[in-house]
Amino acid sequence: MRISTIPQIYRNVGRWREILSILSKYGLADWLSRYDFAPLRALLKNRNGQSLTAESRATRIRLALEELGPTFIKLGQVLGTRPDLVGTELANELEKLQTDVAADSEETVFTLLEEELGRPVAEMFHDFSPTPVASASIGQVHRARLASGEEVAVKIQHANIERRVRIDLDILAGLAQLAERLPELAPYRPCAVVAEFRRTLRRELDFERERRHIDELRRNLAENPSVRVPLAYADLSTDRVLVMEWLEGAPLSCLEKLPTDPAELDALARHGAELYLEMIFHHGFYHADPHPGNLIAMPGGVVGLLDYGMVGRIDDSLREDIEDLLAAMVESDSQQLTAVVMRVAASPPGLDESALSVDLADFVAHYAHQSVDRFELAAALREMLDLMRRHRIVLPSAATMLLKVLVMLEGAGRRLSPQFSLMDVLRPYRKQMIRRRMSPMRQVRKARRIAYEMEQLAEIFPRRMRDILQQVQTGRFDVHLDHRGLEPSVNRLVLGLLTSALFLGSVLLVINNVWPFWFWPVQGVSAPGLAGLTGSAVLGLRLLRAINKSGHLDRRR
């Protein structure tokens, strides 16, 4: 941990103590779960009185995050979108994170509204329900009626949430620096994950950004009659308050409130899938949290979208990579799939490409004989992400979010209709993908971009070459080499030389009987020489131990 983090540890020592206490409790539960010792195992319980050691490791991680509070719940939700980092089992468990938190009091809510909007609540709202309809980690939602008569949902941030989030983010940064030093955690890039999480959470804390997301999606989907995006009221919204149209309908998570006709449910599932495919493959901007609680069924088979804090944006390059990935999976082309994975993902040093190709070929062969209408895209994507995780291949966050959305989308569709197949809905889009790839406008844009880059290169190249030649002519041309992994070897070499020099010098002191002498237990021996021999023996043993840990001298790789 860096020295610069010590002041924030001192400032937040109470929160550090609370977090470390919870982590140690769940860590001890994980250790005790391996042993059959009932008296101790029964001592560790969660907030609901349930034994922690009886749960799986993924469940204990989820429970620990819930107990740690809003920031860590959000961290779990973000990690739930990265099965390539945490694995499918833990990612699926993190989807169950409970975000219900205690709501702020009526006085706190009214005070914040009046501070943010600069007017009394009675002047802005004809009716305002003091009891929230939902209270999540960042804010709570109240139902209200404007003075003009429109039914609205008022989303309000919890009091002091920004300060609590800031403290927890500082602590997470410190924990990530510690985790980066552990060899078993370093490949998962804890500092990079926390940095990405910091950006995501800060965006979610800005309700003004969420309002802009709503406006952009309304413009993109204005001509689609099967979707309803609420209207956001800009004059009643700030970065801590968001007022939007109230959508009346049944959440897909409440199956008992949905239509009972299987045909209606199947149509609803298809409409929802087509809506997301339009956002992803046509607009490149999509609602990135399609769990059943954020999708509501409205009259006429219309799908309503809620909660726009998490959105995804993809450019043409990433969209084409995802299209190639899905096409290779459906067409059972293992070579194309390997090429796409290697092009898109970040590969670890020393990746065994032949083993990866074999695993991808087995993966493709497993799904090769499934018909398109029975192809389970969610299962295929989960298995592929697990495969990447085994090889320590890390996808860009935008790509993993998109793949996770497709998995959640097929899960929501099958919740409504067991016969639903996302690949069946994707079939028309495959033709659109090909037409878009071959369209003259795309080729013109691509040629224009290449021409622009070549023009820039033509302008920069002569100047850069002239600079290099001038440096060579004046003797200022330097070549910097980065020796990776040589530092331990150099350190051992230096230690070996020092040990040899100390040993030889000590032997000379003993042979020449250099004063002062050692009187006990060996009499008449040079004391400096004897001390030097002892020190060289200790250093030699330490050097042998270091060599033994890294590999024997006569071992060939």
- Is residue 410 within 8 A of residue 381, CB to CB? The reply is no
Report strand pairing: 227-228 vs 250-251: unpaired
pLDDT digits (tens, 9 = 90+) for 305-339: 988 888 888 887 888 888 788 777 777 778 888 88
Q: Which phi and psi (to 5°) does residue 214 adopt?
A: -60, -45
- Is residue 415 within 8 A of residue 369, CB to CB? The reply is no
Residues of the chain with pLDDT under 50: 1, 3-7, 10, 37-41, 556-557
Structure tokens belonging to residue 459: 């302008």
- Is residue 247 within 8 A of residue 254, CB to CB? The reply is no
Structure tokens belonging to residue 19: 């977090």
Please tell me the predicted confidence (pLDDT) of residue 187. Answer: 65
Closest C-alpha to 203, from 152, 246, 165: 165
CATH topology assigned to domain 106-161+205-260+293-308: Phosphorylase Kinase; domain 1 (3.30.200)
Q: Which amino acid is at 419?
A: Q
- Is residue 71 within 8 A of residue 40, CB to CB? The reply is no
Please tell me the predicted confidence (pLDDT) of residue 428. Answer: 75
Structure tokens belonging to residue 256: 């008992």
Q: Which residues pair with 287 in a beta bridge?
A: 311
- Is residue 395 within 8 A of residue 344, CB to CB? The reply is yes
d(CA 200, CA 203): 5
d(CA 319, CA 316): 5
pLDDT digits (tens, 9 = 90+) for 416-464: 888 888 877 877 777 777 777 777 887 788 788 888 888 888 888 888 8
d(CA 528, CA 517): 8
3-state class percentages of the chain: helix first, strand second, coil last, to nearest 5: 60, 10, 30
- Is residue 492 within 8 A of residue 546, CB to CB? The reply is yes
d(CA 44, CA 120): 49
d(CA 340, CA 357): 12
Around Cβ 470, how many Cβ atoms within 10 Å? 11
Q: Which residues pair with 156 in a beta bridge?
A: 140, 241
Please tell me the predicted confidence (pLDDT) of residue 552. Answer: 54
Please tell me the predicted confidence (pLDDT) of residue 557. Answer: 46
d(CA 86, CA 61): 11
Residue ranges of the alpha helices (H) in 188-314? 190-205, 207-220, 262-278
- Is residue 272 within 8 A of residue 295, CB to CB? The reply is yes
Q: What does pTM read for this prediction?
A: 0.70
CA 90 to chain centre: 13
3-class DSSP state of 157: strand
3-class DSSP state of 286: strand
* DSSP-assigned letter for residue 5: G
Please tell me the predicted confidence (pLDDT) of residue 220. Answer: 93
d(CA 214, CA 305): 10
Q: Which phi and psi (to 5°) does residue 157 adopt?
A: -70, 145
Within 8 A by CB and 6+ apart from 465, the residues are none
